[in-house]
Structure 1
Amino acid sequence: MNKKIRITISAAIAVIVIAAGGFSIYMVKRDKIAPNTIINGVDVGGLTKDEAKSKIKIFTEDTFNLEYNEKSYSIELKDIDFKYNLDKTVQDAYDVNRKEGTLKNMVSMLGSRFGHKENIYIATEYNQKKADNEIEEKTKEINKEKEDARFETSDGKTTLKKDVDGISVNIEKTRQNMENSLSKNKFESEVAVDTETAEITTSDLKGIDSVLGTSMTTFRMSDENRSHNIRVATEASSKVILKPGQEYSFNGVVGKRSAENGYKNAPVIMEGEMEQDLGGGVCQVSSTLYNAVLKSGLEIVNVKNHSIPSSYVGMGRDATVTDSGIDFVFKNPYKHNIYIQNYVSGDTIVCQVFGNSSDEQNVEITTSVIGVNAAQTKEVEKKDLEEGKKEVDKSPRNGYTVVTYRIFKDKNGKQIKKEKISTSYYPKRDGLVYVGTKPKEEEKPETKPEEKPSTGDENQATLDNETDKTTV
């Protein structure tokens, strides 16, 4: 292409651009809307604001429908103070190619002349807070809590319940969807939801098909704080998968017994005495789990008994835990995963160990008291206590030494192995009784005042008084 032709083409393009730009500027100067400006599908380019307003057709409805899974949830538009703002809509169209700087406006004008379309949506007004409240109320049935995969046992049969994803309505996104539809003069849109995957899925429990061990203990529901702590700890200790060779630390899984973690003051054992402290009742959960673990044949890594025999399990069958370091730890010795599932039903703690049926064990737990340390009761004189009376300060409690064994048997009940699990020592507590030495006070005989013989003057005095009262 020779130089003369190139110059001619460049000049022609320049003329076209200048002409187009000049025309666009001309339109702007004449208070016309820029070419190729579209409002809700209607071309209003080259029109004045009034002409554009009369050309736009807006349909109105009383309700707006939110759609989810082929179900519709209706919102009354008057309840959210909704209305269309046609004046603002036309003004937005009129501002095209006018609101930016001179150079940007010129570029936009040229774009309009060469076919670039500017889509303007209808301006809407509504009360955002009311809209959010309506969305939340009308769509609340969509919300669904996530459910972990879990085992259910009935009549000796174990069933795996599949996990369920949680669903929650995203109110902000749903409102934005609604606003976008209304700006296009449409009266329906999709409900936006967020999903939350279950922590324990069905695939996580693959290969687990049998109950290896179960233990249950009961508690007094009348002690509200202790019952609350039991529920918190039971839930925290549950839903744990242990791979082969992996250890379970009760303190590591449950965490610190603090107010921040939801625990309340309840009776705890401190140095052989009952005191009030955060987390009272948690040891019943660890002890219940301990017995389920024993029955499952799992390896006991660390266990320690209380300083006082427990009421909810026998001696040698309890497992104390403390924030300061005493922990209950066990290990999965099998070639398959195991699953710990604990829950509270009414006044009962249920702890279950699930695993592969090939790892089922025939286990018997036995305990033997190998020592008894008889408690004594000491009597101490008390000067401010009346002679002959006694005050019990501490009741005596015998001490015991108990050995716990686990016996493994074959399917015919023949012993295969016997292992010593622990030696539990429960120290004695001597009693203390105060004996009164304060002498009794002698009772003085009651004396009655002497009665004087009547002279009749008393009656006369009464009559005189009554006469005085009537004459007043």
Structure 2
Amino acid sequence: MWKKLHLWIIIVFALLLVASVGYGALSYYSGQDTVPEQVTAGGVDISGLPIDDALKKLDQYEQMLESRTITVDGNTAADAEGSKQWTAAEIGYKAEFIGVREELKKLRSGNVWIRSKSRYHFPSTFELKQSYDPAVFDKLVHAEWDWIDSNEPVNATRTIASNDKVVYTPHTDAYRIDVEPLKEKVASWIVVPDSQLGGQPEQTLTAKLEVKTVHPEITLEKLKDEGIDRKIIEFTTSFATSAEGRAFNVTSTAKVLNDWVLEPGDVFSYGDVVAKTEKEFGYKEAPVISNGKLVPGIGGGICQVSSTLYNAILRISGIDIVERRNHSLPVAYLPKGQDATFASGAIDFRFRNSTGKKLIIRTVVEDRKLTVKLFGTMPENIRYDIESNIVKTVQPAVQKVTDKSLAAGKQVVVQNGSVGYVVDTFRTLVKDGKNVSREKVSHDTYRAQPTIIHVAPGSGGSSGTQNSGGVVEDGI
């Protein structure tokens, strides 16, 4: 009996001894305040370190990444000055180890069994999460150099002064921060590649502030390329003897024609000028030409503007005359063969700007004189001389008309006849003072006006009235 009890005591004691030894070993295992072996976090080796040292090392690494600096050099275009430095954290970068702090905390939490389990199953690697918001950097850069973006580009201007000088005012460029290249450079530097984590990445980055030039829509070069170099010709006619109505019509039409712009290839139509003048000012009564006679009408005088313009156009190069006709009667303000008539719906004065450059027409009315000036491009060493020659005269016919109011044998001259003309007009190109070429530009006919005699019945006169049909020239 005693022997059996003694055996059980020995067995129990042995079991208690074994249990005591095993628990002590487990307690020792779970009570270690170090990181298990072969553990890295984001490439940072924390194997075997005391937990506090490991936590400190992780904090320092995160801080090191976030305290890296970016220096933006503003000494670039647009007279930007100075430089600005930011840390990675300030421009939107963040570095954070994922899960490692929580796992390290578990090594110190719970009973022996829980801590032992945490240590036994402790992960060998942890991720370092990096994030970067480029919008933060974008905002900081624009805030620092916002004055660069504050100006707007200003177009170049062209004015024609009162002395006919063409004056150009240069354009003003504006500038805009071009932050995209800068953002790309920062983005390629700020997020450390996984292969470089754990080491000492590049701590500083210096980058230039890029500024791009913004040109206005109309630059000085573009404006000058339009070809308005100078006044290339002017031509003047007088309407000193014109009555008030005719003077009004000339002046009003000239106002509308002033600053008329022709682009390269444009076809000018005098009918457009007349229509616009009628709409804006209206026309007054003044003599017009109808059926070869001067009669009262509306718009008399408008052809003095077209004829003055025609003479200016004849004296420059690069113009193609599309449509032009002389008056049926000679005009007093120009030599024969150098006029250009107009009749609404029937006759127009048209020409094409074939100079390859822009052409500006300006007009001046002063002291009953009309001056047409053309501004564009033309070599200063050339000019065109205009010469008109009468190649034939046509004597007026005698037209007798029966007038019942006259006594037998009586006759009265009611209209003196006028001679008609056939005229050729030539244009001579003069270069450096020498005649280079000569061309005929028109062959014009001015009708002879008959002598009209009223005679008594039975004296051989024709009956009826003279036809008053035909287009109305020099009016509307």
TM-score of the aligned structures, taking structure 2 as reference length: 0.47
Q: Which has the higher contact order (CA 8 A, sep 6+)?
A: 2
TM-score of the aligned structures, taking structure 1 as reference length: 0.48
